[in-house]
Amino acid sequence: MDHLMEKMQEAAMYITSRIGNEPVDIGMVLGSGLGGLADELEDAVAISYKDIPFFPVSTVFGHKGRLVAGNLEGKRVLCMQGRFHYYEGYGMDQVVFPIQVMHAMGIRQLLVTNAAGGVNTAYQPGDLMLITDHIKLIADSPMRGPNHEELGERFFDMTHAYDKKLCALAREEAKRLSIPLQEGVYMFFAGPSYETPAEVRSARILGADAVGMSTVPEAIAASQMRMKVLGISCITNMAAGILDQPLNHTEVMETSDRVKEAFTSLVRNVTRLWPV
Ligand code: HPA
């Protein structure tokens, strides 16, 4: 057993010692706007990231990062309330460590959510987008370096990185709830600057419908471990250059706040019907 496996096991054992042995059905990475969902869990136990062995240490002042375990719609879930972003300076290996720890705890289902900029001009700020695939042409792979055979293969398949059945479930539930749900390809950018208009035009030519600074590392790590992934973006703004106006973080926060209710409702209903 090498170092990473030991670290994963130790972190997993610590979390289990805090939340108990009952198996977790779904891991959830809650992005901008959806973090509040973790406060709605029943019988919740929260663990600060700083207390978990080997979890990346936040250097950002006032950063609220914690895991919250509890029940949601009859499922046992473990939520990341706040994630680690590459732009914060973490290595890709650190960004995905929590996902590997979830796997070590026996979790095989993952929901990832985020805020993203709309590249597809048919989208509007406030739309939700089912992630059907992704593009990552820049930055390291989280799996760069010696391979850990215990986690998965060296060269692993990404054809079904976003699970087809979970996509179908999300589509059906969105329709039933009358929540408009776009679907498309999410393209990873390293940030923290927003993209330039030229980068956004190139993203569109390459086949992207949305751009963002998260999710893709987690989805790659989950794919290696054969976890089933459902990804949903909140289109908080049109990406740079699409509308003739500058981007700002306030707009991102305001839109995610506005969409929070619909996003939460979709996630709750998908969770209720999620096959585990
Ligand atoms: N670009 C990258 N990340 C984002 C954006 C964007 O326009 N909006 C929210 N997150």
Quick one: pLDDT at residue 1?
Answer: 46
**CA dist., res. 152 & res. 15, Å (int):** 23
Q: With contact defined as beta carbons under 8 Å apart, do 158 and 217 qualify? A: no
CB 27 within 8 A of CB 111: yes
pLDDT for residue 185 is more than 50 = yes
Looking at residue 249, its pLDDT comes to 87
What's the gap in Å between 119 CA and the centre of ligand 1? 10
Ligand 1 centroid, distance to 6 Cα (angstroms) = 35
Q: Is 255 in the pocket of ligand 1 (CB under 6 A)?
A: no
Determine the pLDDT at residue 2.
60
Residue 209 has pLDDT above 90, yes or no: yes
- How many Cβ atoms sit within 10 Å of the Cβ of residue 204? 17
Q: 237 CB less than 6 Å from ligand 1?
A: yes
Domain 4-273 has CATH 3.30.1300.10: no
For residue 103, report the distance from its CA to the centre of ligand 1, in Å: 28
Share of the chain above pLDDT 70, in %: 97
Query: Residue 252: its pLDDT value, please?
Result: 86
pLDDT band of residue 57 (cuts 50, 70, 90) is confident
- Does residue 61 surpass a pLDDT of 60? no
Cα separation, 175 vs 100, whole angstroms: 33
Q: What is the pLDDT of residue 51?
A: 95
Predicted local distance difference test score (pLDDT) of residue 251: 87
